[in-house]
């Protein structure tokens, strides 16, 4: 009988495989300081980086590095049906772009670093097979030749009988087939899958511990799940157990859609004679949809796609700080108290993620954080960052930025350099175009209606006279105070009070106050009613441009 089993194993796995002993040697226990966490992120290359994937990466990275541990990247590409070819490197390049450092795994070009690889599951097929072979030998796994039609028929039968569906108990017919029957099927050229022979009983309750969800009672797993598909690659469940064991993961931090699989995963670890890692199942990021919370969805929400933030041109730091906020809501207070500290110094806490049904996504909050961060960039930095973005995403902005870099940097310096409170009007690089369009003659325009309304506010005083007096006295070298003094003088001369008090004291004496004159200038120069400081704008625009625009009236 034994010999027959060995014959079967050799027939199923004719190739030379590493032995479990060799593997144990090749993947020694990691030498990390006491209490250090080894975590990982394990994306599948589906051609899409979910915002939640960046969130989970950040959490795993923080917990590892904050404890002097290791964070690594593993590509889970064993599900060839879900895989979008050529996208395995997308995740690496995304987390690299967002400054999430990983110690081991493939880089954007697929080059691997680290001693626990390969880090792509499709390159680890022999490793999984080695353990599957061993499980078959120990009677803990078996080949199954059930066809999709038979499985469908089983499902329908179970439904009709009011039974739980799946390959379990006496429904798992290949579990008890004789070796002769198995050989016969192989002789017919059929390709089996390998199933795990579950030792569980659904009626038995077990306690499962999760670092975020706490202690939960769940039924034991009794499903004989597929651990190796007929293409020779493992399923997620099996690969998870093998990889997280060999790669020395201490904490598996993953989406809570995997929580129901924990009884199975624990069984797999026991069957393989390994200790399971600790688990922390993350609640997904939520979004308000017509007043109701729901999971941020890849199908429905553009914000679920990391590409959305890249295209809009949110600075990477903003996205990361926003995610830190979502994970640990005290980050915001910490940042306010420590505006200059590196975010790595924030004491990140896994506990703070517990008791959350999933943080609520709020684009306004991200915009605010982003504006705060952009406000701290120097004009050079802003120019450089915007250029990198424009090069990739927006030819129009690129052209604008290339037209006159020095002029651009002066524009960016307005209320930024030397300002007590730097302006916070820019949060995304995609906003630059509209924000600064008025500085350029080919993109500047002013609505005739706006001019008409403003002229009415002059109560009959000739705008041309005001402008001409203003230009006569204007000196680009004047500082803001001098500029305003001169504006007041021009105003007084034409019957506009220099401030509200004077105006209110003698309303009969004035047509209005100096703000009306400033508004006139602002509209003629920028086409807008609200802008950063007008004196600074004029200095940047230069005498020639402002004269031309003011005289165009």
Pick between residue 75 and residue 411 the one whose CB is nearest to ligand GLU.
75
Binding site residues, ligand GLU, CB under 6 A:
42-44, 76, 240, 252, 254-255, 258
Angle, helix 534-541 to helix 480-493, in steps of 10 degrees: 100
CB of 43 to ligand GLU, least distance (A): 5
Neighbours of 208 (CB within 10 A): 18
Distance CA 372, CA 144 (A): 59
CB of 244 to ligand GLU, least distance (A): 8
Distance CA 314, CA 327 (A): 19
Neighbours of 286 (CB within 10 A): 18
Which candidate, 115, 120, 264, 100, places its Cα nearest to that of 195?
A: 264
CB of 60 to ligand GLU, least distance (A): 9
CB of 321 to ligand GLU, least distance (A): 24
CA distances from 549 to 60, 472, 482 (A): 56, 15, 22
Tokens of 487: 């504006």
Pick between residue 323 and residue 414 the one whose CB is nearest to ligand GLU.
323
Pick between residue 318 and residue 353 the one whose CB is nearest to ligand GLU.
353
Tokens of 175: 């579990």
Distance CA 492, CA 14 (A): 99
Backbone torsions φ then ψ of 229, nearest 5 degrees = -80, 170
Which candidate, 44, 52, 41, places its Cα nearest to that of 327?
A: 52
Pick between residue 202 and residue 258 the one whose CB is nearest to ligand GLU.
258
Pick between residue 231 and residue 399 the one whose CB is nearest to ligand GLU.
231
**What is the enclosing helix (H) or strand (E) of 519?**
helix 514-526
Pick between residue 122 and residue 547 the one whose CB is nearest to ligand GLU.
122
CB of 81 to ligand GLU, least distance (A): 14
CB of 316 to ligand GLU, least distance (A): 22
CB of 113 to ligand GLU, least distance (A): 20
CB of 40 to ligand GLU, least distance (A): 7
Pick between residue 267 and residue 516 the one whose CB is nearest to ligand GLU.
267
CB of 19 to ligand GLU, least distance (A): 26
Pick between residue 42 and residue 521 the one whose CB is nearest to ligand GLU.
42
> Helix, strand, coil proportions of the chain in percent (round to 5)?
50, 10, 35
Which residue in the shown chain puts its C-beta closest to ligand GLU? 254
One-letter-per-residue 3-state SS of 105-162: EECCCCCEECCCCCCEHHHHHHHHHHHHHHHHHCCCEEEECCCHHHHHHHHHHHHHHC
Contacts from 482-488 at CB under 8 Å and sequence distance 24+? 483/535, 483/538, 484/535, 487/514, 487/517, 487/518, 488/514
CB of 231 to ligand GLU, least distance (A): 17
290: buried, middle or exposed (CB in 10 Å: 19+, 13-18, 0-12)? Answer: exposed
CA distances from 259 to 216, 284, 285 (A): 10, 12, 16
Pick between residue 212 and residue 366 the one whose CB is nearest to ligand GLU.
212
Neighbours of 425 (CB within 10 A): 14
| Pairing verdict, β 193-196 and 141-144 | antiparallel
Pick between residue 44 and residue 531 the one whose CB is nearest to ligand GLU.
44
CB of 44 to ligand GLU, least distance (A): 4
Pick between residue 42 and residue 319 the one whose CB is nearest to ligand GLU.
42
């Amino acid at each position: 009988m034994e010999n027959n089993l060995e014959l079967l194993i050799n027939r199923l796995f004719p190739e030379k495989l590493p032995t479990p002993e060799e593997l144990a040697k090749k993947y020694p226990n990691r030498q990390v300081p006491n209490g250090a966490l080894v975590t990982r992120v394990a994306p599948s290359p589906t051609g899409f980086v979910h915002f939640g994937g960046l969130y989970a990466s950040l959490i795993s990275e923080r917990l590892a590095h904050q404890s002097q541990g290791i964070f690594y990247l593993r590509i889970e590409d064993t599900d060839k049906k879900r895989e979008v070819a050529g996208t395995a490197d997308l995740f690496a390049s995304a987390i690299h772009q967002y400054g999430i450092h990983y110690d081991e795994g493939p880089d954007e070009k697929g080059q691997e670093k680290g001693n626990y690889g390969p880090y792509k599951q499709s390159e680890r097929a022999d490793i999984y097979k080695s353990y599957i072979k061993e499980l078959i030998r120990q009677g803990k796994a078996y080949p199954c030749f059930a066809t999709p039609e038979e499985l469908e028929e089983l499902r329908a039968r179970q439904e009709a009988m009011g039974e739980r569906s799946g390959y379990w108990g006496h429904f798992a017919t290949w579990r008890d087939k004789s070796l002769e029957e198995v050989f016969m099927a192989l002789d017919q050229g059929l390709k089996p899958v390998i199933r795990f022979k579950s030792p569980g009983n659904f009626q038995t309750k077990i306690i499962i511990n999760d670092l975020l969800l706490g202690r939960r009672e769940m039924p034991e797993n009794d499903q004989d799940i597929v651990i190796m598909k007929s293409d020779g690659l493992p399923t997620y469940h099996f690969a998870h157990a093998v990889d997280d064991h060999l790669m020395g993961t201490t904490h598996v931090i993953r989406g809570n859609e995997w929580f129901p699989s924990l009884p199975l995963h624990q069984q797999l670890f026991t069957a393989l004679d390994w200790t399971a890692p600790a688990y922390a199942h993350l609640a997904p990021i939520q979004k308000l949809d017509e007043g109701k919370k729901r999971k941020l969805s890849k199908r429905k929400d553009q914000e679920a796609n990391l590409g959305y933030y890249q295209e809009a041109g949110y600075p990477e730091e903003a996205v990361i700080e926003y995610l830190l906020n979502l994970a640990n809501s005290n980050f915001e207070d910490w940042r306010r108290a420590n505006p200059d500290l590196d975010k790595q110094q924030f004491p990140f806490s896994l506990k703070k993620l517990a008791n959350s049904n999933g943080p609520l996504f709020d684009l306004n909050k991200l915009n605010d954080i982003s504006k705060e961060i952009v406000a701290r960039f120097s004009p050079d930095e802003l120019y450089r960052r915007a250029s990198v973005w424009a090069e990739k995403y927006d030819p129009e902005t690129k052209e604008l930025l290339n037209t006159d870099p020095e002029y651009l940097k002066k524009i960016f310096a307005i209320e930024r350099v030397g300002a007590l409170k730097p302006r916070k009007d820019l949060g995304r690089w995609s906003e630059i175009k509209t924000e600064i369009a008025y500085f350029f003659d080919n993109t500047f325009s002013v609505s005739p209606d706006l001019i008409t309304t403003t002229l009415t506010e002059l109560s009959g005083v000739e705008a041309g006279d005001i402008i001409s007096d203003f230009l006569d006295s204007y000196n680009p070298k004047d500082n803001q105070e001098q500029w305003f003094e001169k504006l007041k003088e021009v105003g007084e001369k034409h019957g506009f009070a220099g401030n509200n008090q004077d105006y209110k004291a003698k309303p009969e004496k004035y047509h209005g106050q100096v703000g009306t004159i400033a508004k006139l200038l602002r509209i003629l120069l920028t086409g807008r009613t609200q802008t950063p400081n007008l004196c600074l704008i004029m200095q940047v625009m230069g005498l020639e441009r402002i004269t031309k625009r003011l005289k165009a009236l």
